[in-house]
Amino acid sequence: MNTSSKFVVATHIMTGLASRWTYFGPDYTESSKFIAESVNTNPVVIRRILGMLSKANLIVSRSGPNGGSKIAKKPSEINLADIYKAVEQEEIIFHYHYSEPSKICPVGCNIQDTLSSVLKPLTNVITDYLANISLEEVMTDTMRRSGLLKYLQKGLTPQQIEEKINSGEISVKE
C-alpha cells in the first residue's frame, strides 16, 4: 500500500532549517543540494517540497548561485500540523482506492462514503495532535539525540562543531 512520505521529508527539511536558524542565526540559508544530501534524495524532490513550504509561508527561498532556503518564522511559531497541511494536498490521513471502485456493486459504490464518515474524525484527531507539537520541540529533541547540544552548551560555535563533524572528531549519533 502506498503512503506519502512528503510530511516526513518536509518535517526533516524544516527541522534542519530550524536548527540552522537557531544556531547560525535567522538569516542563514541552506541550499537544496545540502538538504537533499541530508534527506538522501534527489534535489528535485526537495525543491518540490520547498515550493510547497514556501507557498504555505513556512519558508523563504532565494534562487541563484547564492540562493537557499530558511524558515520564515521562529521554530516555536510553527507546528507539525502547519507542515502537514503545507505538503499534503488533501487533509486526509488515509488514501482511498487509486482507481474508482465499481459503480454497480453495492459495496464498491458506497464504501468510500462509509469509510469517509468513519475516518474523518480520526484525521481530525491526528491533525489536532500534530498542532500541539512545535517545530522547536522536534528540533530540540533531534539535536539532543545527535549529541550536539552538549557541545553548544560547552561554548563551541556551530561552525566549530561542523568542522569537528566533518573531520570525524564528533559523531552525530550517540
pTM to 2 decimals? Answer: 0.83
Backbone φ/ψ region at 42: left (φ over 0), alpha (ψ -120 to 50), beta = beta
* Tens of each residue's pLDDT in the chain, 174 residues: 346 789 999 999 999 999 999 988 899 899 999 999 999 999 999 999 999 999 999 999 988 778 899 999 999 999 999 999 999 876 566 667 667 888 888 898 888 889 888 888 888 888 899 999 999 999 999 988 888 888 888 888 878 888 888 898 888 875
Residue 74 and residue 98: Cα distance in Å, rounded? Answer: 38
Residue 55 and residue 127: Cα distance in Å, rounded? Answer: 20
Matching residue, cell 539535536: 143
Contacts of 145 (CB under 8 A, 6+ apart): 173, 174
Domains observed in the chain: 6-167 (1.10.10.10)
Residue 71's beta-bridge partner residues? Answer: 59
The one-letter code for the residue type at 166 is: N
